[in-house]
Structure 1
Amino acid sequence: MKISIIVPVLNEEILIEKNLILLKSNPNVEIIIVDGGSQDKTVELAENLGFKVLISSQMGRAYQMNKGASIARGEILLFLHIDTHLPPQYQSIIQEILSDTKTIAGAFELEIDRPNFSLCLVEILVNWRSRFFSFPYGDQGIFIKSSIFQEFGGFSNLPIMEDFELIQRLKKRGKITIAKAKVITSNRRWQKLGVWKTTLINQLIIIGYYLGVSPTQLAAWYKQK
């Protein structure tokens, strides 16, 4: 089964060349870049590498990923953050996992690039949560058959927590399998405020979501961090 990798981007000129070159080394995979309104050289750099870039008419990662999925030709969709690197042999890993009829979707375990002691603990907690509660997040490379994704209506058009909400819906239908292989994600989102403050804010956002705080309000709080 062919895999389509959908990469939502926004103002990623620092990372996009190096990371897209890694994806370009897989000729049998369809790569779909969806820009959410970048004001830097993100689109130009991606196009210079030979990638066609979709320009989203609406900002928001959920909208971008749904737009990419709508034109994907692969039987399998893999949603990938631009600062996340896939493990070797990811294609065969994904295909093997999705061949299990009990599995409705999957993701990878998480490794953080250049971790210190605190980030190693974050890795452990993330992977424990993912494996025992079947709740991976978007930076773990969520993958799903295209037919299932379309059946579920894709990501809800939320300004935040779109990955969390989709997994909630999918879990009611089947198993979310976590691959033993790991993706490697950048440590940049923990650098600004520090590991524990960032982790605390992330957990408060999740609690707020469960308590019924609107995603719009949660996104406003998250952007203030």
Structure 2
Amino acid sequence: MGHTYKALIKNYRYISNLDYRIIHKNTCILVSVIIPVYNEKPNLSRLLPYLHKIGKGHDFEIIISTGACTEDYSECGHGMDDVVVLCNGKKGRAHQMNDGATVAKGNILAFLHADVIPPKTFFSDIQKTIQSGFDAGFFSYRFDTDSFLLRINASFTKKDGIFTGGGDQCLFIKKSVFEKLEGFDGNQVLMEDFEFFKRMKSAGARYTIIDNDLVVSARKYKHNSYVRVNLSNFLLVVLFKMGFAPKKLKSLHNRLLRLDYQNPPT
């Protein structure tokens, strides 16, 4: 399958002002929020302060995994004692998230996109879910644009179904379970989240969907169209389930959708 999570990560630059001298009690749940980024500095400038605001009273760390993006993130989280910036130069969100998980100190990993805003009870929701006996979980979401059609899309995230497991739902999982599953498949250059979820379900991991909405950016719809994005998503999910090669899925995705919002002007 080509998983790369177990491989030792040697070629990365680790910038951290995190104090790891934390005394962990047996009942402590430390959440490592891993944020894979590609030219996301404007979104991070909003997300990081918000995470610190809602994280008061909780044990957490934030790992920004930059991969092969073109922006300099070395100053992100400046003055924040629990932010790590991980620069490894690898392409692909699967590699970014795996590398973040490798250096994570938490016993719970939460994979959050930079353009997604969690609910105020984000950390307590995760803690309660894990303490209830689940191995993993996801959140429902709504879009940051009020639209009848987008509300229809968002409604599907509240229940288990064909689209469950997408990255915007913010997978959180016990690190021990993530390691047993050998992390994300580094060869899965698109839909790595669905591929991981497929293996997670096959392994019998207990999971749930928290009906407490994240707020997800609708920028993909703004730069394309509702019909175009939905048809693209449906086609890619079907082809993935039929076993199409990841690189072919990635090529098709890039032809179907405009992705210029991922390359902001400098």
TM-score clears 0.5: yes
Q: Does 2:50 match 1:22?
A: yes
Q: Does 2:124 match 1:95?
A: no
Confirm or deny: 8 A CA contact 1:17 1:45 kept in the other structure: no
Letter in 1 for 2:216: T
Letter in 2 for 1:10: Y
Q: Does 2:225 match 1:197?
A: no
Letter in 2 for 1:14: P
Question: Could you tell me which residue of structure 2 aligns to residue 84 of structure 1?
Answer: 116
1:101-180 to 2 correspondence within 5 Å? 101=133, 103-128=134-159, 131-132=160-161, 135-157=164-186, 158-172=188-202, 173-180=204-211
Q: Does 2:67 match 1:39?
A: no
Larger Rg: 2
Q: Does 2:242 match 1:214?
A: no
Cα deviation for residue 133 of structure 1 reads: 5.9
Shift in alpha-carbon separation, 1:60–1:134, aligned structure 2, 3 A: closer
Deviations 1:59-117 (A, max 9, x none): 1111000000001111110000001111112222112212233x321010111112211
Letter in 1 for 2:61: E
Unaligned runs of 5+ residues in structure 2 are 1-28, 258-266
Shift in alpha-carbon separation, 1:134–1:187, aligned structure 2, 3 A: closer
Cα deviation for residue 125 of structure 1 reads: 2.8
The structure 1 segments of at least 4 consecutive aligned residues displaced by more than 6 Å after TM superposition are none
Deviations 1:162-208 (A, max 9, x none): 11011111112133200121111111111111112101101101111
Confirm or deny: 8 A CA contact 1:4 1:31 kept in the other structure: yes
Cα deviation for residue 220 of structure 1 reads: 1.1
Secondary structure at the aligned position of 2:42 is classed as coil
Cα deviation for residue 223 of structure 1 reads: 1.6
Cα deviation for residue 24 of structure 1 reads: 2.7
Aligned equivalents of 1:141, 1:182: Cα separation in 2: 11
Aligned equivalents of 2:141, 2:98: Cα separation in 1: 24
Bigger drift between 91-100 and 19-28 goes to 19-28
Cα deviation for residue 48 of structure 1 reads: 3.8
Compute the TM-score of the two structures, normalised by the length of structure 1. Answer: 0.91
Shift in alpha-carbon separation, 1:133–1:196, aligned structure 2, 3 A: closer
Secondary structure at the aligned position of 1:52 is classed as strand
Compute the TM-score of the two structures, normalised by the length of structure 2. Answer: 0.78
- Give the % identical residues: 31
How many residues align? The count is 221
Cα deviation for residue 151 of structure 1 reads: 0.9
Confirm or deny: 8 A CA contact 1:6 1:33 kept in the other structure: yes
Aligned equivalents of 1:45, 1:115: Cα separation in 2: 34
Confirm or deny: 8 A CA contact 1:16 1:45 kept in the other structure: no
Aligned equivalents of 2:79, 2:37: Cα separation in 1: 15
Unaligned runs of 5+ residues in structure 1 are none
Deviations 1:36-68 (A, max 9, x none): 222235x14515454431012311111000000
Aligned equivalents of 1:163, 1:34: Cα separation in 2: 16
Cα deviation for residue 136 of structure 1 reads: 2.7
Aligned equivalents of 1:37, 1:177: Cα separation in 2: 33
Aligned equivalents of 2:68, 2:52: Cα separation in 1: 23
Secondary structure at the aligned position of 2:41 is classed as coil
Aligned equivalents of 2:163, 2:37: Cα separation in 1: 26
